[in-house]
Amino acid sequence: MKNRLIQLYRRLDLLQEKRGVRIALSVLVLAICGALFIPLLMNSYGLESDRRMLLRELEGQTLREFDVHAVSLRDTGTMTVNGRVFEVTEFRGNTDLLFDESGQIAVPNYLVEDLLRDRVPAWMPHWLVEQPETTLLLSVSVTAWLLLAIWIGLLLPFILTAAGTLLAVLISRWLGSEQLMLAVAGIGLLTFTFVLLSRGMLAALSRPNQILAVAHTVVKEAARSRISLVFIILLLLTLPLIPLGLDPEDPLRYRVQTFISRSIGLTFVISACMTLFLSCATVAFEIRDRQIWHLVSKPLSRFNYLLGKWLGVAAVNLILITVAGVSTFTFIQYLRTTPVAPGIQGQLDVVQVNNDVLSARRSVQPTFDTLTVEEMRERVDRRMRRLPPEAQTLSRQQEIEEEVRREFDSNQRVIPAGLVRPYLFEGLGAAYGTQTTMTLRYRFHIMRSDQHETFDAAFMFNDDPDTTRFVSYSPTMSHVLLLGADLIREDGTIEVAVGNMFEPPEHLGPGAGGIYFESGDFRLMYTVGHFEANFVRAMLIMWLKLCFLAMLGIACATFLSFPVACLFSFTIFMAGSLGPFLAMALEEYYVPYVSEVNWADLGMVINWAFRSVIFGVASVLVLALNAFGAYSPTNDLVQGLMIPWFEPSSWFNTDAEHRDVFGAVLVFLVIWSGIALVSAFAVFRRRQLAVYSGTG
């Protein structure tokens, strides 16, 4: 029986190798994918067109003015546009929940989704139809995936893998665990996808070229080496299991953010460890085991050898990032449609997920005043005159300048009790005249900053009392306020006046009960792009960082043994990852000026020297490697911040909120990897690799 199965498998395998069979299977795949995805795409883009139309019609609709659509929704639960009738489903019989106290539609985006819910055919997944870009991306990916399996010769293994995965899924369903079903299906699909892309990469690298030939052997080595296989298998097994750790009782926004953070963070950490071990091993082991003798004796330049090794490790990383990215992205789209809390709270939760997380937003902070040179000099001189003559040193003057600047900035972020302070947000021209929903995010401190207490505040926009919004907030907790883009003025600005409604008790005295917020805790965010493209850019930045780590490991292995090369490269990796935190610590690290050191006090001299050395080493690390940690696409995706393609203003700005892809290419691929490659070549070309000792 076993021999018959083996013979059958071999016959089928030979059959799939025939060109005619492959062409017939390709036509069949295209026909099936077309029949499945074309209706999906047509329905998805049709819903997107209806969604925009309904949002335009609902703009400004209010019961207070007896607007047609608002009254119709309240009385009948329907809305008629261009002769087409749209009916609410979730709010049927409870249409009063659609409106807030002022008669305006509470959550327009959620209402539109409810109006369109019955227009999705039952066989179409809602999470897929809601996003046209996602539908298009998945259609192209699945079609290309199946065609690649046919022409690479893996159709038969795919069928067997699918059958085994389906059996495991059915067992999970019998056990009654939907999450386990998804995890098991994910493990099977991810494993086969990795094998498929690896075979495709080997086919792409099988060209008569020295660099490609070396890269080809590295990709094959990664599939055989136990060092790399441990991390690859670990990633393929753990990624589908991450959703099992999500609490279904948590708000949807937290679940989505937690999944993005864990999955992408885990992907990068495991890929980085695999990259450093593989890049160090592929060079160090060939030198140790004398395999390199057979290479350098051939017409293969050492530069091409190093470049081929780097290209091979980068190709393995590209496969891993692609597999992990597709898995993460697909489950995010599924997760966004999971059940939420009933009522208005659940509606707001869904809206916040779509507007604050699964989007690409720009963040704008209010414009604050700055002291002129004359004002700064006057304030510093006034304080210096109060000091005794012996204390009026240059270092003390610099400290006072910093204190004055810090106090001036802090005072602008204070709203006294019972008063109102206006703040101007500029640079919003890109959102002017659009249908986007903006988010005003704030985190206030007041009194003891006890997060178990609540206080009242008010927001007024553009000095218009009709726009006043009263809110309750808990100190130290982040809160959001959804705003329409119609508040943006023609010059691209919005004035937001914050009113402190707290009335402090008389025994606290004047000045008590003021609202204070830290820098960055009061900002306005607006959508400028889609999550899909933002996700691709984030994955690309991660791959560029891994490319640098690959070149770093190869460079270390050219002159160090495998253990020492790993230790050295991991040290640089950790220092780069901690760069932003180290930069923040340096701002608070105090080193006395030379003029302040009492050279007769040996203890003080030793302390000064010790601090100076630490400060110098840390400063060099921050200067050289801070960009590695500053480019953090995971944090940007979790917060829904835009990752632009090209933004030169962020290249030399350590406080930039938006890091662009071109800057990552420049830093990681051109400068850092280039320096590592040149250094490795300079060492490698002078290293004597074949010293014959008379033995072995």
pLDDT digits (tens, 9 = 90+) for 377-431: 888 888 888 877 767 676 677 778 888 888 888 888 888 888 889 999 988 887 7
- Average the pLDDT over 540-549 and give the result: 93
Structure confidence at residue 540 (pLDDT): 93
Q: Give the mean pLDDT of the chain.
A: 81
Residue 667, C-beta contacts closer than 8 angstroms, at least 6 positions apart: 627, 631, 651
- The contacts of residue 548 (CB under 8 Å, 6+ apart) are 628, 668, 669, 672, 673, 676
Does 442 map to a domain? yes
Distance CA 61, CA 80 (A): 14
* Same-domain pairing of 500 and 642: no
Task: Decide: 358 and 336 in contact? Cβ < 8 Å.
Answer: yes
User: What is the distance between the alpha carbons of residues 200 and 642, in angstroms, rounded to a whole number?
Assistant: 32
pLDDT tens digits, one per residue of 428-466? 887 787 767 788 889 888 888 787 888 888 999 988 888
In this structure, the answer to whether residues 590 and 656 fall within a common structural domain is yes
- pLDDT tens digit sequence for 26-45: 898 899 888 888 888 888 88
pLDDT for position 202: 86
Cα–Cα distance between 640 and 356 in angstroms, integer? 6
Q: Are 367 and 426 in contact (CB under 8 A)?
A: yes
Residue 70, in any domain of the structure: yes
pTM score, whole prediction: 0.80
Question: 131 and 532 in contact (C-beta within 8 Å)?
Answer: yes
In the prediction, which pLDDT does 580 show?
Answer: 76
Residue owning tokens 């012996």 = 390
The answer as to whether 81 is a domain residue is yes
DSSP 614-673: HHHHHHHHHHHHHHHHH--HHHHHHHTB---S--GGGSS-TT-S---HHHHIIIIIIIIH
Judge whether residue 694 has pLDDT over 50. no
Buried b (16+ CB within 10 A) or exposed e, 357-388: bbbbbbbbbbeeeebeeeebeebbeeeeeeee
Give the pLDDT score at 692.
46
Residue 290 maps to a domain: no
Same domain (yes/no): 512, 561: no
pLDDT of 9 reads 64
Residue after which a domain boundary falls, among 125, 153, 181: 153
Kindly state whether residue 296 falls inside one of the protein's structural domains: no
Same domain, yes or no: 510 and 551? no
Residue 365 is given by DSSP the state P
What total number of domains does the chain contain?
A: 3
**Lookup result for tokens 């703009």:** 59
Tokens 């539609």, located at residue: 105
pLDDT attached to residue 91: 66
What pLDDT does residue 657 have?
Answer: 64
DSSP lists the bridge partners of residue 86 as 79
Same domain, yes or no, for 518 and 540? Answer: no
Banded model confidence at residue 696, pLDDT cuts 50, 70, 90? very low
Same domain, 557 and 571: yes
What pLDDT band is residue 693 in, cutting at 50, 70 and 90? very low
Residue 41, domain member (yes or no): yes
Q: Which of the listed residues 99, 121, 153 is the one where a domain comes to its end?
A: 153
Q: Which residue has the higher pLDDT, 247 or 550?
A: 550
**pLDDT band at 658; cut points 50, 70, 90:** low
Query: With contact defined as beta carbons under 8 Å apart, do 149 and 196 qualify?
Result: yes
Q: Is 594 found in the same domain as 454?
A: no
Cβ pair 612, 590 in contact under 8 A: no
- Is there a single domain that holds both residue 503 and residue 466? yes
Side-chain half-sphere exposure of 55, counting CA atoms within 13 A: 17
CA 549-551-557 angle, to 5 degrees, is 100
| Region label for 93, one of left (φ > 0), alpha (ψ between -120 and 50) or beta (otherwise) | left
Strands 420-425 and 414-415 turn out to be unpaired
Asked whether 514 and 446 are in contact (CB, 8 A), the reply is yes
pLDDT tens figures, 84-129: 888 877 666 666 667 766 677 766 777 777 777 777 777 777 767 7
421 torsion bin: left (phi>0), alpha (psi -120 to 50), beta (else) = beta
185 token code pair = 């299906």
Query: Can you give the length of the chain in residues?
Result: 696
Residues 481 and 574 in one domain: no
Enter the tokens of residue 364.
């704008």
Distant-in-sequence, close-in-space partners of 373: CB < 8 Å, separation ≥ 6: none
Q: What letter does residue 463 receive in the DSSP assignment?
A: T
Q: Residue 97's pLDDT is what? A: 67
Q: Give, in degrees to the nearest 5, the angle at Cα 117 between 112 and 123.
A: 150
Residues 636 and 509 in one domain: no
Same domain, yes or no: 475 and 551: no
Other Cβ atoms less than 10 A from the Cβ of 596: the count is 12
**The pLDDT of residue 284 is above 80:** yes
Longest dimension (CA), the chain: 101
Neighbours of 301 (CB within 10 A): 13
- The model's pLDDT over 256-283, given as tens digits with 9 standing for 90+, comes to 888 899 999 999 999 999 999 999 988 8
For residue 651, pLDDT over 70 is answered with no
Angle between helices 302-335 and 132-152 (to 10 degrees): 130
Burial of 268: CB neighbours in 10 Å, binned 0-12, 13-18, 19+: buried
Q: Which of 479, 497, 529 is the last residue before a domain boundary?
A: 529
**How much is the pLDDT for 547?**
93
Residue 297 contacts by C-beta under 8 Å, 6 or more apart in sequence? 690
Taking the C-alpha atoms of residue 218 and residue 313, their distance in angstroms, rounded to an integer, is: 7
What percentage of residues in the chain have a pLDDT greater than 90?
8
Q: For residue 36, list its beta bridge partners.
A: none
525 lies in some domain: yes
Dig out the tokens for 295 from the structure: 């290479």
In a domain, residue 651? The reply is yes
Q: What is the mean pLDDT of residues 320-344?
A: 81
Q: Check if the beta carbon of residue 693 is closer than 8 Å to that of residue 677.
A: no
- Which two tokens mark 318? 């590209």
Yes or no: say if 555 and 679 are a contact pair by the CB < 8 Å rule: yes
**Does residue 140 share a domain with residue 2?**
yes
Per-residue model confidence (pLDDT) at position 334: 80
CATH of the domain at 431: 2.60.120
Structural domain of residue 598, as residue ranges? 532-684
Nearest to 497 by CA among 445, 455, 462: 462
Greater model confidence, 164 or 315: 315
Neighbouring C-alpha atoms within 13 Å toward the C-beta of 105: 26
